[in-house]
Structure 1
Amino acid sequence: MTRGVRGATTVTENDEKQMIENTRVLVKEMIETNQIKPTDISHVFISVTKDLNAGFPAKALRQLDGDGWSLVPVMCMAEIEVPGSLTQCIRIMMVVNTEKSQADIQHVFHNEAVKLRPDLVNKIGE
């Protein structure tokens, strides 16, 4: 079965290093929390809001320790622009092969991105 694992974070400025570091921290928590190996991943989509263009957050996955991360297909794209939506935001949709049920997937939100899905943030640790 494939399942989507959601994650999101924000940065405080349009800075490549901050974008990559915040993405790296987020992805590490997503894979640790859900016990994901690179060989479990079908693909990863990363979107950024229009105010972030200093770099590709996908670089964060290439910096992870261990074999296989350079083989994971990753694509960055622009998030749709909705009036009043969260700014300086990086969203991740990681599609993984897993035996876990939909209810057992732990989605991860950092910084201001916790506002996106407070219902999922509250689920963590239950």
Structure 2
Amino acid sequence: MRGIRGAITVEKNDSTEVCNAVQEMLKEIMSKNELATSDIGAAIFSATNDINAIFPAAAARKMEGWDLVPLFDAQQLEIEGSITKCVRVLLLVDTDKPQKEIKHIYLRRAKMLRPDIK
């Protein structure tokens, strides 16, 4: 089992925008890591406190194949000076890939969270 991280930002707290962003992030993680939803043991989402229009897990649940994936939402810690309007995810996946081959995905302004990942 491996953990795969991802994050994405939105410009406004709007359910459609947040839903689209979460789905974009998950599709990118799935594609870059060559995953099927049956490989996912669980997904843990967090969102900054300025996102409350929709649960990130609800956005994932709308995607094909995600109906059997255990999903969990939490609020990200509010740290002074930290990134705003950001959704993060930790996917726990069954894979034979070594950790060094896992591709963590940070999109939009969330790229600043992991400048070491190109």
> Shorter-chain TM-score category?
over 0.9
**TM-score w.r.t. structure 1 length?**
0.90
Stretches of 4+ moved more than 3 A in 1?
A: none
Contact kept, 8 Å, 1:9 with 1:90, in 2: the verdict is yes
Question: Deviations along 1:23-78, whole A, 9 cap, x unmatched?
Answer: 0011001001101111111100000001111111112222223xx42000011110
Q: Tell me how far apart the structure 2 counterparts of residues 108 and 71 of structure 1 sit (CA, whole Å).
A: 23
Q: Tell me how far apart the structure 2 counterparts of residues 109 and 34 of structure 1 sit (CA, whole Å).
A: 14
**Alignment partner of 1:106 is 2:103:** yes
Match of 1:17 in 2: 16
Question: Deviations along 1:80-120, whole A, 9 cap, x unmatched?
Answer: 11110000000010010100000000011111000000112
Say which of 68, 73, 82 aligns to 1:71: 68
Aligned residues: 118
Q: Could you tell me the percent identity over the aligned residues?
A: 39
Structure 1 gaps, min length 5: none
Provide the alpha-carbon RMSD of the alignment.
Answer: 0.9
Match of 1:30 in 2: 29
**Alignment partner of 1:88 is 2:85:** yes
Amino acid at match of 1:19: V
